[in-house]
């Protein structure tokens, strides 16, 4: 029996002595490793919940073991709990035959010394730390991302295998130098056939088109460009072009109110709304009802939400960071700080039916490369190579 150890940036939830996954999507995520390995030990932060939130999925598979790590949010809490996290990780790898470290997870980086040189391991790289420090706003944050980037490259260099979410971009920086190592590329996305839409006709019957924006957490001045997008809306309104904007994502710190206040300040309050966290079914309906998708992000790996929007036939505008140019053609890549060009590009899609329909058709065709069965086969092959060297 080959047991795999995995660590990534996720939370496991504890309620009345029982462990739970965040939702069904995360339950399916962990079970993909059990298609190849006979057992799975998950080393992650655990959050106690007095009242279990809707959608939590109990960890009931006897092949899955939870190895709890003290919970922390962000770098400052991590510093406070640095030693307690270290103590918790001692012995975390004992009894396992191989490991997968999903980077740049803080826990995975901290766990690496318990793994390296002691068992076969592979890295799954989901984010470009170089983009993280280049887009950081303060010196402390820049230093933190530089340290993360250094550690990621060091961990990858000695790995038996490295897979990135991009085809080319992340591989230039994060790769193994170990003789006989293997590599691959795949997204963690599970895009089932029933999720896909179709290329769209121009929505000429609508008096006002709607932009969709999706992120894990919405923040007015965060990395995903919420404030930039609101400013672009105001520029468009000055030119006589009005569009709606809907933000989807968790609100952990009152950002919904801040976003609405900022939109009102710029004169577009009536055009902006926040819909909160959406499960898989609700996300599909949300994208179905939208007319285009805009994500002016400062740093990424390969954004799942862009692929999901493309699968629904939405024209997409984003920034030329990390893996985004692998998904979106150059005319729809706009630098993060270029509000004027962002407004112009949105305006072009809104007013030009031919441009709109070509972007929709091209995006839909490209999204088919990320259908679940296609990625599943690639992941199974990668995990199989790791399994074979145990």
- For residues 150 and 197, membership in a common domain is answered with no
Looking at 204-208, 338-342, 382-386, which range is the least confident one?
204-208
- For residues 159 and 265, membership in a common domain is answered with no
How many angstroms separate the CA atoms of 26 and 136, rounded?
29
161: its two tokens:
């295998």
- For residues 364 and 381, membership in a common domain is answered with no
> Is residue 128 within 8 Å of residue 299, measured between CB atoms?
yes
Report the pLDDT averaged over residues 318-344. 94
- For residues 23 and 53, membership in a common domain is answered with yes
Report the pLDDT averaged over residues 151-165. 97
How many angstroms separate the CA atoms of 314 and 294, rounded?
10
Report the pLDDT averaged over residues 46-75. 94
pLDDT band for position 268 (cuts 50, 70, 90): very high
- For residues 112 and 16, membership in a common domain is answered with yes
Write down the pLDDT at residue 1. 60
Write down the pLDDT at residue 285. 96
Q: Which residues pair with 3 in a beta bridge?
A: 39
Report the pLDDT averaged over residues 71-93. 91
Residue 11 burial (10 A CB sphere; 0-12, 13-18, 19+) = middle
Task: Say yes or no to pLDDT of 73 above 70.
Answer: yes
Task: Say yes or no to pLDDT of 269 above 70.
Answer: yes
pLDDT band for position 389 (cuts 50, 70, 90): very high
Residue bearing the bigger pLDDT, 1 or 336: 336
Range of the structural domain that residue 248 is part of: 193-370
- For residues 73 and 98, membership in a common domain is answered with yes
Q: Residue 281: give its domain's CATH number.
A: 3.40.50.2000
CA of residue 292 relative to chain centroid, distance: 19
Write down the pLDDT at residue 216. 87
Task: Say yes or no to pLDDT of 253 above 90.
Answer: no
- For residues 162 and 310, membership in a common domain is answered with no
Select from 23, 59, 16 the least CA-distant residue to 40.
59
Write down the pLDDT at residue 8. 84
- For residues 353 and 375, membership in a common domain is answered with no
- For residues 322 and 341, membership in a common domain is answered with yes
> What percent of the chain stands above pLDDT 70?
100
Number of domains present in the structure of the chain? 2
Q: Which residues pair with 272 in a beta bridge?
A: 245
Task: Say yes or no to pLDDT of 202 above 70.
Answer: yes
111: its two tokens:
């766990």
- For residues 354 and 382, membership in a common domain is answered with no
Write down the pLDDT at residue 84. 95
Residue 108 burial (10 A CB sphere; 0-12, 13-18, 19+) = buried
pLDDT, tens digit, 9 for 90 and up, residues 32-54: 999 999 999 999 999 999 999 98
Write down the pLDDT at residue 24. 92
Select from 182, 146, 151, 183 the least CA-distant residue to 167.
183
- For residues 99 and 209, membership in a common domain is answered with no
Q: Which residues pair with 67 in a beta bridge?
A: 43
- For residues 24 and 156, membership in a common domain is answered with yes
pLDDT band for position 57 (cuts 50, 70, 90): very high
- CA-derived radius of gyration, the chain: 21
- pTM for this one? 0.86
Mean pLDDT of the chain: 94
Report the pLDDT averaged over residues 148-176. 96
Report the pLDDT averaged over residues 372-388. 96
Task: Say yes or no to pLDDT of 247 above 90.
Answer: yes
């Amino acid at each position: 029996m080959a047991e795999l150890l995995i660590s990534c940036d996720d939370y496991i939830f504890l309620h009345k002595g029982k462990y739970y996954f965040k939702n069904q999507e995360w339950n399916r995520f962990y079970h993909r490793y059990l298609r190849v390995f006979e057992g799975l030990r998950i080393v992650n932060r655990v959050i106690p919940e007095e009242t279990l939130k809707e959608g939590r999925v109990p960890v009931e598979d006897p092949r899955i073991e939870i190895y709890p790590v003290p919970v922390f949010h962000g770098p400052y809490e991590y510093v406070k709990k640095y030693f307690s996290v270290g103590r918790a990780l001692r012995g975390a790898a004992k009894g396992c035959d191989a490991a997968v470290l999903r980077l740049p997870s803080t826990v995975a980086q901290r766990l690496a010394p318990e793994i390296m040189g002691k068992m076969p391991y592979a890295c799954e790289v989901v984010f470009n730390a170089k983009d993280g420090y280049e887009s950081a706003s303060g010196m402390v944050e820049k230093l933190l991302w530089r340290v993360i980037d250094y550690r990621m490259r060091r961990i990858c260099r000695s790995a038996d295998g490295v897979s990135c979410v991009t085809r080319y971009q992340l591989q230039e920086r994060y790769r193994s130098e170990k003789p006989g190592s293997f590599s691959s590329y795949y997204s963690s996305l599970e895009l089932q056939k029933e999720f896909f839409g179709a290329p769209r006709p121009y929505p000429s019957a609508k008096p006002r088109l709607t932009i969709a924006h999706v992120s894990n957490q919405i923040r007015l001045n965060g990395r995903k460009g919420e404030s930039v997008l609101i400013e672009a809306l105001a520029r468009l309104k000055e030119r006589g072009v009005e569009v709606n904007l809907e933000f989807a994502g968790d609100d952990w710190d009152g950002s919904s109110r801040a976003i609405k206040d900022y939109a009102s300040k710029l004169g577009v309050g009536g055009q902006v709304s926040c819909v909160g966290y959406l499960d898989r079914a609700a996300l599909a309906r949300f994208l179905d009802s939208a007319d285009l998708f805009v994500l002016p992000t400062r740093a990424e790996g390969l954004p799942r939400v862009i692929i999901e929007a493309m699968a629904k036939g939405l024209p997409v505008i984003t920034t030329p960071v990390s893996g985004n140019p692998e998904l979106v053609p150059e005319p729809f890549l706009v630098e993060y700080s270029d509000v004027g060009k962002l407004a112009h590009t949105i305006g072009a899609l809104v007013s030009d039916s031919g441009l709109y329909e070509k972007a929709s058709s091209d995006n839909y065709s490209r999204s088919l490369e990320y259908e679940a069965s296609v990625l599943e086969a690639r992941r199974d092959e990668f995990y199989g190579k790791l399994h074979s060297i145990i």
